[in-house]
Amino acid sequence: MGRFPSALNWIFTAIFVAASGVAYGRLFFEGSPMYIGATYALFCGMPLLAFERRMLLPSLNRWMHRLPTPVFILSALVVDFALIAIGFAVSGGLLKSLGLITGAWADVMLLQVDVYIYAVVVTAIVIFVGRVRELLGRDVFLSLLTGRYRNPVQEERVFLFIDLVGSTAFAEEHGDLRTQEFLGSIFSALAEPVRRHNGAIDDYIGDAAIITWPLERGVKNARCIRCVFDILADIEANAETWLKSYGRVPRLRAALHGGGIVTAEIGVDHHKIAYFGDTVNTTARLESLCKTLERQVLISADLARRMELPDEIAREDLGDHAVRGRDQTLGVIALHMPRQQARKAISSGQ
């Protein structure tokens, strides 16, 4: 379920790549069956995209990205040519073996320069769009593309604030560069659970991340809550790796709140989807209460009432609390999994 959007992205990408092959066939081989161009394009383009996404030869990809820029560009051209040439040969050999195309084996299997250039251009376009989408986030990318928030819109959203505990002490001990590596690894660890539960990482502020959902999507099946505990569970499951890499396992605090906001596209040279209203500020204040109340995960009573909590999640009603910048008190509930109760004293001391 959580991987469906990712699979859908690959399906749309494959359709686009196949269509580019059909277009090439129509331009340069008029009258040729559409499946020929589509097959060549898929075998040439998809391995290249898989390599870019580190799904194919990930070790080689990581090694290349550590090279100086001129050497990286040269190595990328070599690898791209090799992958496209292999894909071209495999697709040509397959089509020839099935009797779907005629011609000499060399003609259908040996990559031509014009085909290589065309394949690189199409793949570069797909990669560029994908990178922009990743940079902005899926929801923001689509919103900017469609102009949905060009005029301010009132809507309801869920916000999740996640903050790293002890980042200042870590920076004092290890320095700013090492701290940034640590934060980068933590933020990377958030990505898959957020994607799995159809959320969007809106921003990173210092050692905190802001994640959001449209309200209806976030409360459905308690996605926003499940997302928090999946993040915590993933970090716990990889505790040995964290200890080996950074000498400690990240300890996070999280707060959830939802309600009405105003969403608008702002900026001139740099555009951004921004959220305005008390809901965002209240979520930030609620996250700061985690330290005061010595609880790892807090949710506002208002948001909790809008969904059915998962059976495996225990709730602890902490009553009403004054929140800085808010006239009215806020009902606060602590969430935890039963196994975390036994470790609460240890965790709060980290």
Dump pLDDT digits (tens) for 39-97. 999 999 899 888 888 889 988 988 887 888 788 888 888 888 899 999 999 999 999 99
Amino acid identity of 155?
E
Average pLDDT over all residues of the chain: 86
The separation between CA 119 and the C-alpha centre of its own chain, rounded to angstroms, equals: 26
Contacts of 170 (CB under 8 A, 6+ apart): 178, 179, 182, 248
Q: What is the pLDDT at residue 316?
A: 94
Cβ neighbours, 10 Å, residue 25: 20
The domain ranges of the chain are 4-136, 152-348
Q: What is the topology classification, in CATH, of domain 152-348? A: Alpha-Beta Plaits (3.30.70)
Contacts of 84 (CB under 8 A, 6+ apart): 44, 45, 48, 111, 115, 116, 119, 120
Dump pLDDT digits (tens) for 179-233. 999 999 999 899 889 988 989 888 899 899 999 999 999 999 999 999 999 999 9
For residue 4, pLDDT beyond 70: no
Q: What is the pLDDT at residue 12?
A: 86
Q: What is the pLDDT at residue 154?
A: 92
Dump pLDDT digits (tens) for 126-149. 777 766 666 556 666 677 677 777
CA–CA gap between residue 307 and residue 215 (Å, rounded): 11
Query: Is residue 330 within 8 Å of residue 321, measured between CB atoms?
Result: yes
* More reliable by pLDDT, 69 or 332: 332
Whether this model's pTM surpasses 0.95: no
Query: Is residue 108 within 8 Å of residue 92, measured between CB atoms?
Result: yes
Q: What is the pLDDT at residue 243?
A: 94
* More reliable by pLDDT, 129 or 342: 129
For residue 330, pLDDT beyond 60: yes
Q: What is the pLDDT at residue 180?
A: 92
Q: What is the pLDDT at residue 207?
A: 92
Contacts of 133 (CB under 8 A, 6+ apart): 141
Q: What is the mean pLDDT of residues 282-303?
A: 94
Percent of the chain with pLDDT over 70: 90
Listing DSSP states for 284-301 in one string gives: HHHHHHHHHHT-SEEEEH
Q: What is the pLDDT at residue 186?
A: 94
Structural element, H or E, at residue 321: strand 314-321
